[in-house]
Structure 1
């Protein structure tokens, strides 16, 4: 369900309250903000909270991680509510990112065991996964989608820009389910089943990849679809048939993607 755009600062408080009540069933909070912080101020506030663990809501971040698996739409309803109350879609609490990095650390230990890596190689592997695979690649993807959304998907040039911080949050949301599927669940079946030269091994390994990529695309779509001033966001879902077609091709040629991933990870840290 989409909501109307948030009120602009130039409108009166009464009109703001009226608009809030037309877009949300909840009463406007006492600290409802009618101004928007600059991107620099938002970034500073977000980064400053990294060293204040007592101010992070880890319980709520865990709730979001759970619902990204079972009902991603509920997570994005909260992003809409944040826009109504705090004048921004992006998170102002880094707890989700902290927990995500923690999950990467835990799953990297499992990968190091599966790949038989030494201590130094395990540390290098962890650095690659956190800072390259998750953060750097995420920044590239977020920047690309942020540019496309603002340049081609906005209803009009006068509409409010999509926040880059929110684009990065969408990436983090979409990254979590594939992380659990590829970096955690898959490890339990790799040596005894997925790594074997059997047709069923390729089927199971590539099906896990299909599920992971489908999660990423669908959650990314939900993230941009929830923004009221964007149109034609369903174009993101066009990549799903392409992913499924690639999945079928890999089965036909018996290319086990999971084994290729393991080879890539292993030789990257040698």
Structure 2
């Protein structure tokens, strides 16, 4: 039976933002955070890639020597059972609910359900930046700014949660990710949600598909560094009167990300906050901006 590397460590709550930024860049599929009574956070990571896991352990031990970072091998089957023990449905805003197949009997009526089978290759939607994006998508839909005639581009699609949400609102589009394993699992998620015919997937970044393709809505829930670096490529994907949602951004990074896009012709965005994290929203971007 295959084994996984289980990594665990503890940090003060004051280190949460820095740790989340670090893990977001190293552990694309997500991790578990458990608050403890002494105002610390207990982190658990499961990895199929043992060499990467060893690197992460060494990095954490060097970066946070007080964290008590340890690792051990466990059977993959036990990891799957652990997911079932602690996974709970996640409600985002007043429109979407993310849940695994075994909890479909407990789904909340009146919401659109995004079914995710937790695996090592992707996250499950519990991060605040995912919730922020889903809330903004819900807001746009309620305001009549999304309709089936539109198309979307999901940069860094990961588990395809955002792509699935948009497809369930009737909007078709494309999702890309630099991690080939994420694309494999994203396709499975699309199939499990019955929207595989509405979303095209590709391995790569913002420039990995036909350069002439432009979109009514572009959403990118990655990190501030890549968002700044890819600003020109992201803007190049925007149609006239389009919408842009960016997240994966710490509050203190929001102005810097916004500036990168403003200097390339976009107006100032609206900034939305959830705890330590921010999302940027542009609406009605004109052709001269893009």
TM-score, normalised on structure 2? 0.25
Query: Per residue, is there more strand in 1 or in 2?
Result: 2
Query: Per residue, is there more helix in 1 or in 2?
Result: 1
Q: Which structure would you say has the larger RCO, counting Cα contacts within 8 Å and 6 or more residues apart?
A: 1
| Larger CA Rg, structure 1 vs 2 | 1
TM-score, normalised on structure 1? 0.26
